[in-house]
Structure 1
């Protein structure tokens, strides 16, 4: 790599780098920044010279970042966000949210239950800010925050790392979802015997055992899981027309039932409640945009 002097570097190249990394496509990156595709291709050539690396390689699915590009991304984005933050300090009334995005890590049960509400809160508090929802869960959330692939996260814990901060948003419980055609007329609950006799759909990020299996084992029972899925959004399609039951967090069960016509039932098994927490890198404490999103999340859960 040639000796570099920041005085000789066009800092707009950093915006091009960020757009290329986010969009994985020169044409989409050009569209995002409002420049021609040839200007974006020229920017990529200059970036490659600047960093002495290919940065992005063409694949069948667009441009894939190299290891060096992935190492640069959080540093470049943080530098650009600091610049945006500095402009907001001198003109607090400007629309300084345009062009900024905040990535919220959450599992799709929280996205289903709170996503729309959060979009509306952000429209009021930070107009033109873009939210990016990214799948995560408590086992992987700390790593995702520390490697900067997400800015904030809503999970049932997982924020024990020293460099992370957290705030309790509330606690959750469980409800059951079934197709109403599988119930007798006027039936509003199922007992433990019927619960065990029915087939079950398990929602899990990868395991074969869920909280329901642990609860059943504690009373000497087990269940038959006919299928498992990683996404709550699939449940309406997996439950409709079947005798199966899914036992899932209450916030997701209520939202799914409201939109799909599935029936909510109390769980006949006593299951432990769990904390719902908001986590973030302590180093982002002073970023006013991340703070705005944190405030909006807290308001949604209030």
Structure 2
């Protein structure tokens, strides 16, 4: 295909082509002016420019109005489908039909969010969007911003407050933490006391590999400390670990109902004050009005907010 010379288009006014099409239809400068909500001088000036552009009279006066020349006939036949396609491209946004469209979404999240949300999400997709696939991109609150700035995911589900001018963060849900343990390893009844809390060893999830968290700073205010026996970046490692060893783990509340059911864990409120976490959707501003992305965000909002 011959390359396009952008300079050729610099002297073309799309409005002139609209005048050409209307003039061909009505065969009258006056009627064209009325149709286009322009004055007759403006239409006459546009017609003059069209004649210069195509080096042809285009329309000549006759007893029944302005008669198109063969060149005008040819141009209209060629331009009519192009103008229709251009109108469709400009003014018709491509819809997203979840029930029929084939689509693959990339969703960034950490493993605890995947454990919490993905079973419900996939079940809902199977029901309402059978041709939609999901690819999870492993991330955490510190990786989420660069991941989205580089548009390596369609949406990220994350916690925290960081964002950038390229991104939109929408906070969806605020929730707290619970301490869990396996009832065969630690035989305690809720409520969990502070003394009991520090008398056992702990497993800690840390994306940056540190052995302390906000919880430890709260303990220090009470003059206490806990021993962290195990540090991991993966929440998914905890249930089997708790089944084998007498350990406490403090996890987001979103995990607790399913973990207690699936792994026979016990749970209790953390015996010191802990700041809540906020689950947010994060997306690139370039995708804000994309129909498929908006549909996905609506679906995720409902799942995150559901009890």
TM (normalized to structure 1)? 0.66
Q: 2: CA distance between counterparts of 1:215 and 1:203?
A: 17
Q: Superposed, which structure 2 residues align to 1:101-116 within 5 Å? A: 101-116=104-119
- Structure 2, unaligned runs of 5 or more: 5-88
C-alpha distance after superposition, 1:79-126 (max 9, x if no partner):
xxxxxx99x96786696531x211111111111111111122333443
Compared with structure 1, are the counterparts of its residues 96 and 148 closer, same or farther at alpha carbon in structure 2 (3 Å cutoff)? farther
Runs of 4+ in 1 over 6 A off after TM superposition: none
Residue number in structure 2 paired with 1:197: 199
Q: 1: CA distance between counterparts of 2:253 and 2:266?
A: 12
- SS of the equivalent of 1:221 reads coil
Q: 2: CA distance between counterparts of 1:245 and 1:93?
A: 46
Q: Is the 1:201–1:227 contact (alpha carbons within 8 Å) kept by the matching residues of 2?
A: yes
- The number of residue pairs the alignment matches comes to 219
* Pairwise CA distance, 1:203: 0.8
Residue number in structure 2 paired with 1:217: 220
TM (normalized to structure 2)? 0.65
Correspondence 1:168 to 2:182:
no
Residue number in structure 1 paired with 2:150: 147
- SS of the equivalent of 1:131 reads strand
Residue number in structure 1 paired with 2:63: none
* Pairwise CA distance, 1:174: 0.5
* Pairwise CA distance, 1:191: 0.9
Q: Which moved more, 1:219-228 or 1:251-260?
A: 251-260
Q: Is the 2:209–2:231 contact (alpha carbons within 8 Å) kept by the matching residues of 1?
A: no
* Pairwise CA distance, 1:290: 1.1
Structure possessing the higher radius of gyration over alpha carbons: 2
- Structure 1, unaligned runs of 5 or more: 7-84
The one of 65, 78, 101 equivalent to 1:97 is: 101
Residue number in structure 2 paired with 1:75: none
Q: Which moved more, 1:290-299 or 1:203-212?
A: 203-212
Compared with structure 1, are the counterparts of its residues 92 and 180 closer, same or farther at alpha carbon in structure 2 (3 Å cutoff)? closer
The one of 262, 265, 269 equivalent to 1:262 is: 265
Compared with structure 1, are the counterparts of its residues 226 and 148 closer, same or farther at alpha carbon in structure 2 (3 Å cutoff)? same
- SS of the equivalent of 1:97 reads coil
- SS of the equivalent of 1:181 reads coil
* Pairwise CA distance, 1:207: 3.0
Residue number in structure 2 paired with 1:253: 256
- SS of the equivalent of 2:289 reads coil
Compared with structure 1, are the counterparts of its residues 141 and 264 closer, same or farther at alpha carbon in structure 2 (3 Å cutoff)? same
Q: Is the 2:95–2:291 contact (alpha carbons within 8 Å) kept by the matching residues of 1?
A: no
Correspondence 1:284 to 2:298:
no
C-alpha distance after superposition, 1:11-55 (max 9, x if no partner):
xxxxxxxxxxxxxxxxxxxxxxxxxxxxxxxxxxxxxxxxxxxxx
Q: 2: CA distance between counterparts of 1:91 and 1:106?
A: 27
- SS of the equivalent of 1:116 reads helix
